[in-house]
């Protein structure tokens, strides 16, 4: 078996959701938490040094997937041609043991109804069999994705298998990442002068009373302040991945 996998360039992604939308369209998935491709977005830092992080992730199709042994029905397996981790819908009973086991939140459910069956990224093996790339790869307008045999991905892009915030686990994904680089000041910035200019508005009242009102962010103010991939309810999935809240 030749193991296939993805490359994702975090420095390019701006969270447009084209990959997630294309995945739902190709696989006939209804709007809602059954998101095989998730675009996670979170914020760190404070003005003037805040940063938005994006991570588009579907499934790691891991060499040692935690979901496979966790399934009591033997419904999850690793197929032989591309190394994709798949689920047999006829065997799945919706017990959610796979979701508990997977550190990356790859198993998805369309609803909270008891017995709702698991579904997940299939690596688009139907497209691969026809000689095409996965739909998410083709849909990205700024080419943040690549796909192919993992030895080729590693040779082209290195072997970084995680970005900041991803779970620290022995379950290693078959995906290579180009993480965000540390933020650098391109030009010198006088923070005190900047804040003074931001505070004063001529004859109007000041925009804030003290600098700490702007740069010290109280707990709970940010809608999403960290990457959270393991989401076990529909509400958690939607909170971690959708952009029309908060």
Of 148, 147, 125, give the one whose Cα is nearest residue 138: 147
pTM (2 d.p.): 0.90
DSSP, res 201: B
pLDDT value, residue 49:
81
Please list, residue by residue across 130-166, b when 16 or more beta carbons sit within 10 angstroms of its beta carbon and e when fewer do: eeeebbbbbbbeeebbbbbebebbeeeeeeebbbebb
Of 178, 147, 184, give the one whose Cα is nearest residue 11: 178
Of 111, 79, 109, give the one whose Cα is nearest residue 97: 109
Q: What is the spatial distance between Cα 194 and Cα 207, in angstroms, rounded to a whole number?
A: 13
The answer to whether 149 touches 4, Cβ cutoff 8 Å, is yes
| Tens digit of each residue's pLDDT (9 = 90 or more) over 69-123 | 999 999 999 999 999 999 999 999 999 999 999 999 999 999 999 999 999 999 9
pLDDT value, residue 244:
58
Instruction: Report residue 220 as tokens.
Output: 């709970």
Q: What is the spatial distance between Cα 134 and Cα 122, in angstroms, rounded to a whole number?
A: 9
Of 236, 234, 228, 239, give the one whose Cα is nearest residue 57: 228
Digits of tens for pLDDT over the chain (246 positions)? 799 999 999 999 999 999 999 999 999 999 999 999 999 999 988 877 889 999 999 999 999 999 999 999 999 999 999 999 999 999 999 999 999 999 999 999 999 999 999 999 999 999 999 999 999 999 999 999 999 999 999 999 999 999 999 999 999 999 999 999 888 778 888 888 888 888 888 888 888 888 888 888 887 788 889 999 999 999 999 999 976 543
Q: What is the spatial distance between Cα 240 and Cα 229, in angstroms, rounded to a whole number?
A: 8
Residues forming beta bridges with residue 178, ordered by sequence position:
9
Q: What is the spatial distance between Cα 92 and Cα 106, in angstroms, rounded to a whole number?
A: 15
Q: What is the spatial distance between Cα 198 and Cα 55, in angstroms, rounded to a whole number?
A: 32
């Amino acid at each position: 078996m030749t193991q296939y996998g993805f490359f994702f360039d975090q420095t390019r992604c701006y969270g447009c959701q084209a990959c997630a939308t294309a995945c739902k369209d190709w696989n006939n998935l209804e709007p809602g938490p059954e998101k095989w491709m998730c675009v996670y977005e979170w914020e760190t830092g404070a003005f003037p040094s805040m940063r938005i992080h994006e991570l588009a992730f579907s499934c790691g199709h891991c060499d040692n997937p935690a979901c496979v042994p966790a399934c009591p029905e033997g419904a999850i397996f690793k197929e032989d041609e591309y190394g994709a981790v798949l689920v047999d819908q006829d065997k799945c009973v919706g017990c959610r043991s796979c979701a508990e086991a997977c550190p990356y939140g790859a198993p998805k459910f369309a609803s909270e109804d008891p017995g709702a069956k698991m579904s997940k990224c299939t690596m688009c093996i139907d497209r691969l069999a026809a000689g095409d790339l996965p739909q998410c790869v083709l849909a990205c307008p700024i080419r943040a994705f690549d796909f192919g045999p993992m030895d080729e991905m590693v040779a082209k892009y290195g072997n970084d298998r995680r970005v900041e915030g991803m779970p620290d686990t022995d379950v290693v994904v078959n995906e290579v990442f180009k993480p965000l680089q540390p933020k650098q000041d391109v030009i010198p910035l006088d923070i005190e002068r900047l804040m003074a200019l931001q505070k004063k508005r001529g004859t109007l009242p000041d925009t804030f009373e003290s600098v700490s009102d702007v740069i010290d962010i109280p707990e709970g103010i940010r809608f999403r302040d960290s990457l959270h991939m393991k989401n076990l309810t529909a509400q958690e999935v939607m909170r971690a991945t959708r952009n029309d809240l908060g």
